[in-house]
Amino acid sequence: MNILFVSSEMSPLAKSGGLGDVVGALPKALRKLGHDARVVMPLYRGIRHRYAEKLNFVRWSMIRLGWRTMYSGLFTLEVDGIPVYLIDNEFYFGHDELYLEYSFDIERFSFFQRAVLEAMGEPMGFTPDILHLNDWQTGMIPVLLEAHYKSQGYYPNLPSLMTIHNLKFQGIHGREQIADLLELPNRYMSEAAILKDGVPNFLKSGIVYANRVNTVSPSYAEEILLDYYGEGLNGLLGAQRWKLSGILNGIDTESFDPETDRALIANYSKKAFKRGKATCKKALQTELGLPESADKPLLVMITRLAEQKGIDLLIRIGDELLEDDLQLVVLGTGDFLYEEELRKMEQRHPTRMRAKIEFDPTLARRLYAAGDMLLMPSLFEPCGLTQMVAMRYGTVPIVRQTGGLIDTVQPYNKFENSGDGFAFLNINAHELLYTTKAAVSVYRNEPKIWSDIVSRGMSHDFSWAKSAANYVDLYETIVKEVNT
């Protein structure tokens, strides 16, 4: 099949989270299965500067955007064997950040979606059998297809799959502005169509008009049918339950491999990990100015500093946790208040805690290798990649039982000596504390059992191969339904 991914992010070109990782890895896995998977995304300033000599100009055109007529350039670039199309417009995408002020982002991605549809087919030299759309930035494409293209005989049978990476972000804006930007007839301005509570909602539109909808883990697909996780769309999702499914994300196991990772001072395998991890731990302690000790449990947290990630729970119990003889390193950026609270915690515990308030993917890899335990107390987690990477590097996850964390981490059962991590159920700081202390106790007092837990985690196959095959099955189902 010819599969066109439409996305605002793709690693390594531009990413802010899991969306970029998925779009960077899944097309590559699909191509290995023999399918022609390609990506179209904005040409951000950072991409233009880093890849200037590799960009190939295809064509330019003018795009109508309400009363505006805007330049749209089309460039191509090959990334890890994946053909990538890039939509160029300096006004909308010539910025250092991927996302800007919210109302302007609505306008930017309205332009992007219209430009993508104008570039398909002859301009690209590629006619897709299916569109794989990702998050709210692409949610209006099925509506635009129906309103402006299928009615004119263009792409009359082109289906789409809408993947929800995070339901919280929906793309909501004023009715008059969206009617102007997208030139939609009045029949689409209803609660049965693109409106949610009286205003246009891009993600809701994608859910309604795409042929199928999926989330990035089976458990998250079930959770978003509930009030707490549904972000106001659970009623709609329940009514559209027949088109909703969950496919677990994978990770790039070629890149994240402790046997070959060049960021590590010592490489190791799942069959012989103790010496390698000990060497990595000692090197990290030296690097960060922590006391060098093989016996002190080293807890790591690699995350966006956002409410979703359970930072409040850690801050609430951080001082009590650090009264124990252990070490904690937190790496990430985000909410200024969280950044400040973590810096203050480090000041109170200078020999036991480091707050690395920065985005450093290379340091993250050293933390995965050096850590004994990973903290991931998310309030909700559509999939989560961090816990899978951590287990691949032999670091035991401590998670809240939600979303993709349920699907990837099996809690330790001392009676059966089973499981590959530790988990707690409720959004409660002391449940996080007691679960972490239980993990620390096993680490200190039962080294054989701890090694078994690590080994089970490292033995998992979190590659994209299985997930890619599941996506192919879903694509084939969609295409068959449209053509029969």
Q: Write out pLDDT tens, residues 391-448.
A: 999 999 999 999 999 999 999 999 999 999 999 999 999 999 999 999 999 999 999 9
Q: Which of 326, 302, 451 is nearest to 377 (CA)?
A: 302
| Count of C-beta atoms within a 10 Å radius of residue 480 | 10
Task: Indicate whether 66 pLDDT > 90.
Answer: no
Position 239 confidence tier, pLDDT thresholds 50, 70, 90: very high
What's the pLDDT score for residue 150? 87
Number of H helices, E strands in the chain: 19, 17
pLDDT (average), residues 143-168 = 93
What's the pLDDT score for residue 151? 81
Rounded Cα–Cα distance for residues 355 and 327 (Å): 11
The pLDDT tens digits of the residues spanning 242-279 come to 999 999 999 989 889 999 999 999 999 999 999 999 99
Q: How far is CA 261 from the centre of its chain?
A: 22
Q: What are phi and psi of 113, to 5 degrees?
A: -65, -40
Classify residue 38 by its DSSP letter: E
Degrees to nearest 5, angle at CA 387 with 386 and 392: 100
Superfamily in which the 274-461 domain is placed by CATH: Glycogen Phosphorylase B; (3.40.50.2000)
What's the pLDDT score for residue 128? 96
Rounded Cα–Cα distance for residues 76 and 149 (Å): 24
Cβ-Cβ contacts under 8 Å for 290 (sequence gap 6 or more) = 284, 327, 329, 351, 352, 354
Q: Which of 188, 61, 36, 163 is nearest to 119 (CA)?
A: 61
Q: Which of 335, 346, 344, 288 is nearest to 310 (CA)?
A: 335
Q: Which of 389, 432, 428 is nearest to 302 (CA)?
A: 389
Sheet arrangement for strand 82-88: 56-65, 68-79, 82-88, 36-42, 2-6, 130-134, 160-164, 212-215, 244-246
220 residue type, one letter: Y
Task: Indicate whether 316 pLDDT > 90.
Answer: yes
The answer to whether the CB of 9 falls within 8 A of the CB of 44 is no
134 residue type, one letter: N
The answer to whether the CB of 252 falls within 8 A of the CB of 468 is no
Q: Which CATH number fits domain 2-250+465-482: 3.30.365.10, 1.10.10.10, 3.40.50.12280, 3.40.50.2000?
A: 3.40.50.2000
Rounded Cα–Cα distance for residues 283 and 265 (Å): 7
Strand-pairing partners, residue 134, are 163
Q: Which of 408, 328, 342, 332 is nearest to 370 (CA)?
A: 328
Q: What are phi and psi of 120, to 5 degrees?
A: -65, 160
Query: Same CATH topology for 2-250+465-482 and 274-461?
Result: yes
pLDDT (average), residues 304-326 = 96
* Measured distance between the N- and C-terminal CA atoms of the chain, rounded to whole angstroms: 17
Give 413-439 as a DSSP string: BTTTTB-SBEEE-SS-HHHHHHHHHHH
What's the pLDDT score for residue 87? 98
Maximum Cα–Cα distance across the chain: 71
Q: Which two tokens stand for residue 182?
A: 């997208």
The answer to whether the CB of 428 falls within 8 A of the CB of 452 is no
| In the chain, domain spans | 2-250+465-482, 274-461
What's the pLDDT score for residue 282? 97
Position 17 confidence tier, pLDDT thresholds 50, 70, 90: confident
